[in-house]
Amino acid sequence: NEGAYFQGMASSVAWVDVQMGLVKSVVFAVLVVWICAAKGYYLHLAGDRGFGAAGVSRATTSAVVLASVAILVGDYLISAVLL
- Averaged pLDDT, groups of 10, the chain, 83 residues long: 91 91 96 96 77 86 97 95 84
Cα–Cα distance measured from residue 16 to residue 6, given in angstroms and rounded to the nearest whole number: 18
Write down the pTM of the prediction.
0.78
Q: Structural domain boundaries of the chain?
A: 14-82
Q: What's the pLDDT score for residue 49?
A: 60
Q: Confirm if 49 and 29 have CB atoms less than 8 A apart.
A: no
Determine contact, residues 17/71, Cβ cutoff 8 Å: no
Provide the pLDDT for residue 25. 96
